[in-house]
């Protein structure tokens, strides 16, 4: 498998803009090094020709989407603390809703499945979520992720992915998702990468817990291709 710098495609003449909403403040948690992993995400995108803005407050990031071709969410659960105050920024809600309406690409990374809970348009667009009491993951470690669809532009020609990562299990998923990659646990297939095209193009990549996952060229390729596909650059 070639690296995304070579494999993702030809860099566009005018760099498209991506906003990475990185976990901090109420979107931080004790387990995910969001600043570090957002740095890896930014590096993958910049190597593939993107102009990238990393915003360490997702509520603020949602107000900066005008002109952006891609929103990447790499952030945690704002409701993690049972006493956490529910908070909806009207400008953030309007920014996200407007961006989805015009067709911005969405890329949800790992714990983004439990993020942006105050903004229902996010969950509706990505088609799945981590649900406390239902979802879980085996202990982090060396893992094998099976490519389910080797014809989709994001995973075309790829072999199964081997990396060091968490494998989310028993996620709550909508019907009609196109699953690209999955892992097996207790004899059951659990999707880890999927796409949908309504209300806008979205890709969920439930991998990417920490820097060790980003050592995988295959994961970097998936991320680079997913960014291009969701933003309709290819």
Q: Tally the domains of the chain.
A: 1
**Do residues 164 and 140 touch, judged by C-beta distance below 8 A?**
yes
pLDDT confidence of 3, banded at 50, 70, 90? very low
Which CATH number belongs to the domain containing residue 10 in this structure?
Answer: 3.40.50.880
pLDDT confidence of 188, banded at 50, 70, 90? confident
**For position 18, what pLDDT does the model report?**
98
**For position 13, what pLDDT does the model report?**
59
Residues 51 and 34: their CA atoms lie apart, in Å, by 19
Residues 40 and 57: their CA atoms lie apart, in Å, by 17
Q: Is pLDDT of 4 > 50?
A: no
Domain span at residue 148 reads 4-230
pLDDT, one tens digit per residue, over 70-94 is 999 999 999 988 777 788 899 999 9
**Do residues 78 and 122 touch, judged by C-beta distance below 8 A?**
no
| Mean pLDDT value of segment 141-156 | 96
Q: Is the dihedral of CA 172, 23, 14, 69 positive or negative?
A: positive
Compute φ and ψ for 51, nearest 5 degrees.
-90, 120
pLDDT confidence of 136, banded at 50, 70, 90? confident
**For position 6, what pLDDT does the model report?**
35
Residues 137 and 191: their CA atoms lie apart, in Å, by 12
pLDDT confidence of 166, banded at 50, 70, 90? very high
**Do residues 112 and 73 touch, judged by C-beta distance below 8 A?**
yes
Q: 51 - beta bridge partners?
A: 17
**For position 12, what pLDDT does the model report?**
54
In total, the chain counts a number of residues equal to 234
pLDDT, one tens digit per residue, over 96-129 is 999 999 999 999 999 999 999 999 999 999 999 9
User: Between 187 and 95, where is the model more confident?
Assistant: 95
| Mean pLDDT value of segment 23-46 | 96
Q: Is the dihedral of CA 111, 117, 120, 121 positive or negative?
A: negative
């Amino acid at each position: 498998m070639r690296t995304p710098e070579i494999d993702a495609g030809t860099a566009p003449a005018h760099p498209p803009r991506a906003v990475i909403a990185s976990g901090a403040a109420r979107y931080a948690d004790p387990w995910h090094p969001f600043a570090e992993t957002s740095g890896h995400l930014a590096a993958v995108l910049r190597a593939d020709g993107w102009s990238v803005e990393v915003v360490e407050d997702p509520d603020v990031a949602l107000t900066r989407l005008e002109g952006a071709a891609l929103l990447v969410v790499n952030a945690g659960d704002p409701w993690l603390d049972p006493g956490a105050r529910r908070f909806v920024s009207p400008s953030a809600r309007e920014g996200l809703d407007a961006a989805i309406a015009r067709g911005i690409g969405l890329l949800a990374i790992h714990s983004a499945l439990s993020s942006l809970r105050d903004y229902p348009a996010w969950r509706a667009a990505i088609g799945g979520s981590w649900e406390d009491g239902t979802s879980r993951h085996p202990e982090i470690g060396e893992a094998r992720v099976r490519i389910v669809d080797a014809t989709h532009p994001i995973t075309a020609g790829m072999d199964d992915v081997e990396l060091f990562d968490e494998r989310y299990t028993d996620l709550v998923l909508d019907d009609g998702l196109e699953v690209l990659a999955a892992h097996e646990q207790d004899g059951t297939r659990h999707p880890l990468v999927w796409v949908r095209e309504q209300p806008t193009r979205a890709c969920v990549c439930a991998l990417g817990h920490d820097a060790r996952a980003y050592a995988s060229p295959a994961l970097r390729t998936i991320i680079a291709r997913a960014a291009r596909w969701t933003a309709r650059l290819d």
